[in-house]
């Protein structure tokens, strides 16, 4: 505990300022007390984390921000939202789960959002908001806006990799982020000295070259003065700033918490430093507020909360029929206009086709930028962006540290801030280091915010095996990502799609993941000189046939077409359907083809168990069972980590002969 027992002496503490600070703290305290009461009455459910004891932090810090500044918070965010100006009635209605809530009842206590007030919400993932703050600040800096993004988080977040990755990125790029660590000494039930050898959190932040300032978080005046100083420095272009706001929560971690980890004496000792009581005492001592003033404030707060409860009670439940709203944007981008053929073709590769699409996107829209590991001078691991650094400069072709979670999260934040980022993850296995940001932020923010926060982000990554890279660099995980609502999953398999999918994806209001199979980068062919954006919503028939449908995507398209050619020599005409888009699947195209041929073979480089092929099989059975003349067959990779030895790798992967064999079996033939 800090030894200071009274608030710091404050210059310029007049009656108006004193009233404002005390009023905000009282609002938070009484609101939280009412929330606890309503939780006990089962009006509010789920996890709920109260801010009682920490009111001085929000009341002192948040008013130092301007209306154009952004705020990213953690799950203990009721107080932050109130001080930011989110109405108490919409906050409480959200906690009730009512449609009048600030997130339409989709987020609840831990996920309050208000896009109009640039309140980017609570985040239930510890440290999950830090990369978003970095991205919001990056968008502001790139667009020349003198804004500040403040990010609030607890001491527990300092143990997470996302804290360190975000601090490094913000410092490296001199981004206008104010990091506000609310150090209440406990990460749930783990005391800080049991989690860290170095308990001075300013030392940790300072190791990244970031200016730091420890602050008595129980002293609202000290918080306000420190925050004002920090905001001025950040807004002036000095880069990020770190405040360690040393505070204490008087209640348990959450309403579920039995609080067995700290003794009552510790809590009572801290309550002697109640920020409201301390500040009231200071105001009386200086004659700034009278008993009548205090009574009036209590009355105003009580009236506001009473109205908020009535508003929440009278609120409406969103119709169950609207359950699936806000998974994807309700105003999707229009289909790209068809470009007339250019009159001639050019010889190119899959790699060069993607580079051409990147160049066009960067030229067309100044909001577009590319970031990822080695995308600059190196051109990325597969040299896709080689040469673009010289054309567009380091602000638009932005090399990142090896910190996937931070730069993917920064891409999400930049998209929220109005930029159009393209994030390159070197290989699909590295995307698992950013899965938290992809799953918990990119895919969910639109839904949790009740439609307020679309995430127009494109993430590119290399996928697939066949290059003798062994188990850790040969994954085909696109089927995993296709499991997640809120994402659009694309798998370009042709030169036209490699050239055209990126442009269309950039116009999507939803997050799009592009999976580029590593074996295709050197694929060469002819491409119309006027090739441009393509439809990303529909599958494509790459070869027509009448006898069996071969369904595939990405790196196995070429093998499947080869299998179809083998079958044609035997008089079997196979139809080859290229899925192209893995989420949402073009189920109509799948069923139309299978209903015609009455047989299906699914070719998927993923493992068979729990695979995308299993989902496609289920949809065929559900939608075309009575049209089938044979069981649906699947050709997938062997259920083994991908081996290095070439002959074993080839044996593990779907090959044309195995695909043709499965098709013959479906036709009741045993040729070959």
The phi and psi torsions of 662 (rounded to 5 degrees) equal -65, -35
* 3-state SS class at 377: coil
The phi and psi torsions of 297 (rounded to 5 degrees) equal -65, -45
Tokens of 375: 């995308």
∠ CA 473-559-578, nearest 5°, is 95
| Distance separating alpha carbons of residues 535 and 626, to the nearest angstrom | 31
∠ CA 642-349-565, nearest 5°, is 65
Tokens of 213: 């300032």
| Distance separating alpha carbons of residues 668 and 548, to the nearest angstrom | 11
Cα dist from 564 to 543, 561, 607, whole Å: 8, 5, 22
Give the start-end residues of each E strand in 261-403: 345-349, 368-372, 397-399
Cα dist from 341 to 156, 183, 345, 351, 354, whole Å: 58, 62, 9, 21, 19
| Distance separating alpha carbons of residues 408 and 401, to the nearest angstrom | 11
| Distance separating alpha carbons of residues 353 and 349, to the nearest angstrom | 6
Task: Quote the distance between the C-alpha of residue 577 and its chain's center.
Answer: 32
Exposed, middle or buried: residue 71 (CB in 10 Å: 0-12, 13-18, 19+)? buried
| Distance separating alpha carbons of residues 664 and 63, to the nearest angstrom | 71
Tokens of 280: 């009231």
Tell me the angle at which helices 161-172 and 404-416 cross, rounded to the nearest 10 degrees: 60
DSSP 114: B
Pairing relation of β-strands 574-578 and 548-552?
Answer: parallel
The residue annotated as part of the active site, out of 77, 100, 224, 404, is 404
Q: Which residues of 139-170 are buried (b: 16+ CB within 10 A; e: fewer)?
A: bbbbeeeebbbbbbbbbbbbbbebbbbbbbbb
Mention every residue, 6+ apart, whose C-beta is less than 8 A from residue 5.
272, 273
Length of the chain: 672
Tokens of 242: 């770190």
Tokens of 362: 């960067």
Tokens of 287: 């004659």
Q: Which residues of 80-108 are buried (b: 16+ CB within 10 A; e: fewer)?
A: bbbbbebbbbbbbbbbbbbbbbbbbbbbb
Pairing relation of β-strands 458-463 and 420-427?
Answer: parallel
Tokens of 614: 């299993």
Q: Measure the CA dihedral 391/392/394/397, to 10°.
A: -100
Tokens of 529: 């000189």
473 is catalytic: yes
The residue annotated as part of the active site, out of 78, 111, 253, 473, is 473
Cα dist from 199 to 192, 196, 216, 411, whole Å: 7, 6, 15, 31
User: If we measure between CA atoms, which residue out of 274, 232, 230, 235 comes closest to residue 251?
Assistant: 274
| Distance separating alpha carbons of residues 476 and 604, to the nearest angstrom | 9
Tokens of 610: 């729990």
Query: Which are the catalytic amino acids?
Result: 404, 473
């Amino acid at each position: 505990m800090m030894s200071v027992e009274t608030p710091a002496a404050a210059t310029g503490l007049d009656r108006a300022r004193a009233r404002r600070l005390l009023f905000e703290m009282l609002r938070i305290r009484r609101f939280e007390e009412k929330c606890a009461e309503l939780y006990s009455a089962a009006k509010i459910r789920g996890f709920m984390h109260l801010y009682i004891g920490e009111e001085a932090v929000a009341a002192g810090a948040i008013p130092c921000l301007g209306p154009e500044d952004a705020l990213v918070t953690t799950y203990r965010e009721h107080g932050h939202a109130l001080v930011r100006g989110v109405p108490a009635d919409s906050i409480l209605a959200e906690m009730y789960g009512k449609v009048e809530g600030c997130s339409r009842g989709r987020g609840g206590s831990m996920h309050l959002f208000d896009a109009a007030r640039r309140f980017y919400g609570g985040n239930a993932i510890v440290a999950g908001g830090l990369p978003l703050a970095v991205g919001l600040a990056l968008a502001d800096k790139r667009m020349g806006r003198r804004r500040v993004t403040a990010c609030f988080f607890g001491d527990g977040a300092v143990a997470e990799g996302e804290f360190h990755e975000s601090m490094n990125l913000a410092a490296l790029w001199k981004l206008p982020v104010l990091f506000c660590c609310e150090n209440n000494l406990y990460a749930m039930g783990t005391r800080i000295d049991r989690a860290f050898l170095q308990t001075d959190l300013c030392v940790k932040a300072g190791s990244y070259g970031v200016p730091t300032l420890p602050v008595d978080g129980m002293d609202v005046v000290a918080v306000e003065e420190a925050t004002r100083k920090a905001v001025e420095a950040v807004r002036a272009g000095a880069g990020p700033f770190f405040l360690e706001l040393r505070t204490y929560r008087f209640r348990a971690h959450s309403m579920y918490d039995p609080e067995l980890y700290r003794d009552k004496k510790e809590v009572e000792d801290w309550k002697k430093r109640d920020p409201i009581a301390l500040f009231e005492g200071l105001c009386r001592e200086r004659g700034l507020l009278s008993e009548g003033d205090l009574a009036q404030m209590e009355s105003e707060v009580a009236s506001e909360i009473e109205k908020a409860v009535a508003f929440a009670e009278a609120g409406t439940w969103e119709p169950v029929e609207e359950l699936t709203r806000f998974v994807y944007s309700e105003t999707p981008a229009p289909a790209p206009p068809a470009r007339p053929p250019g009159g001639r073709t050019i010889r190119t590769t899959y790699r060069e086709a993607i580079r051409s699409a990147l160049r066009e996107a960067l030229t067309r829209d100044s909001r577009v930028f590319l970031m990822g590991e080695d995308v600059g001078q190196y051109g990325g691991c597969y040299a896709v962006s080689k040469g673009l650094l010289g054309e567009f400069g380091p602000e638009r072709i932005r090399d990142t540290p090896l910190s996937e979670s931070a730069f993917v999260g920064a891409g999400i934040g930049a998209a929220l801030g109005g930029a159009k980022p393209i994030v390159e993850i070197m290989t699909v296995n590295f995307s698992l280091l950013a899965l938290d940001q992809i799953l918990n932020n990119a895919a969910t923010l639109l839904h949790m915010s009740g439609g307020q926060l679309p995430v127009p982000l494109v993430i590119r990554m290399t996928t697939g095996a066949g290059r003798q890279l062994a188990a850790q660099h040969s994954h085909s995980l696109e089927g995993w990502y296709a499991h997640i609502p809120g994402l659009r999953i694309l798998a370009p398999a042709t030169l036209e799609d490699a050239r055209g999918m990126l442009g269309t994806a950039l116009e999507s209001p939803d997050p799009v993941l592009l999976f580029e199979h590593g074996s295709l980068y050197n694929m060469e062919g002819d491409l119309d000189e006027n090739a441009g954006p393509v439809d990303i919503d529909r599958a494509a028939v790459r070869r027509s046939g009448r006898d069996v449908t071969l369904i595939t995507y990405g790196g196995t398209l070429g093998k499947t077409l080869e299998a179809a050619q083998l079958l044609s020599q035997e008089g079997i005409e196979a139809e080859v359907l290229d899925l192209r888009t893995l989420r949402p699947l073009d189920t109509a195209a799948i069923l139309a083809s299978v209903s015609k041929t009455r047989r299906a073979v699914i070719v998927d480089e993923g493992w068979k168990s729990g695979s995308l092929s299993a989902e496609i099989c289920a949809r065929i059975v559900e939608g075309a069972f009575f049209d089938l003349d044979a069981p649906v067959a699947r050709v997938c990779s062997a259920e083994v980590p991908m081996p290095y030895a070439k002959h074993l790798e080839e044996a593990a992967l779907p090959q044309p002969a195995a695909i043709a064999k499965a098709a013959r079996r479906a036709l009741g033939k045993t040729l070959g």
